[in-house]
Structure 1
């Protein structure tokens, strides 16, 4: 097993912890005896979750699109008397629609959270892990990492980056005592799509029911995979098959199919 053992001065940092997969991963880690540092923008939601999880949960509200807020996190965690032995880079968001109709500010904020924040936090937390000879990092991508995503072009490309970046980290960290995994979930009913701008009904029409996985199942699969040292974690047989199909299908065939079925395109 590769997850560092829990300890009174050790914690798992979970970004995007206020809801969805992040909240479920925090619950799973607490059940395994770990303290958690909950990071997200909405402090009230983090406080609700912390109250549920008990004294081992610590709230650090931060906007991960803000570079200064990200830079302050290591010192804020140290101020709690905690060592970040596990980092879950789960925070993410998406825009919706064709790029030629996009809001540049929204696009840049998405890239800042989905891509730059992952690089930033790995760069800040990995040196200490390597020095201590223990640690585990889980970066959250998506099955979108295995295919183009017309209608969410920037989101899909960002997840391709996270997948490749994590795979590269796995080579760099070999023999250090630090493990790294990337979670690539398919559709999960977390409210993510509604935040991006399409309804659950639209998503259900575009994606078959067998691909949908409950967030608590995704979280357990993710933490189990991280603990086993699995590099790429794809919850659900249907999503594994879908990722394989997307990888082997010629793009000249795949792109028109994806364009036609995406709810964000006319």
Structure 2
């Protein structure tokens, strides 16, 4: 056999632990750095939990835009005032209806619907105690009666009429107070008969007198049509009283 010679390049072994001491032809190995390190070249921000906790506990927790400090709840308005519900105003308007011959119309200049809603809910509650579930009927009649009185008055007054639907609904609602009293008394009085009809007529006339006086006092051009306005109010409260009787 012929002896073949193979050329083997010389191999230099690194004898020291220092990677810088090597031959000129040896490539230095790069030591991999763990990710997410401060010196790894990745632009991550470091977050110190201890410093954040200390700054939060020592400073203000919340400062809204334009407030410049912590919120002071002592300066906030009551919840009922923010919702537009004023109990003193509602009570003064209810008391003004108690005397149908001298109704104080000045307290009804600022119309609201919070008082009428409370009276309607009380009326529904008394009807429920009497065994009559009439929530939908009462709500529908409230809407129809307010629109009916609004249309009747503006047709009678013509261009001089200044009754808006909001004021009309407020007046009709507050003058429902006598009918609400009648529905409460009907729980203890005998149903039907001449006696029941006579009591119902008293409360209907009470509500009619109060609502007619308020509408004439709060609007212009209604004094000359007082009789027709009273007739429309009489029809409205008669319907509600029929719910109580029957």
TM bucket normalised to smaller: under 0.3
Structure showing greater relative contact order (alpha-carbon pairs closer than 8 Å, 6 or more residues apart) = 1
Structure with the bigger percentage of strand: 1
TM-score, structure 2 as length reference = 0.25
TM-score, structure 1 as length reference = 0.23
- The structure with more radius of gyration: 2
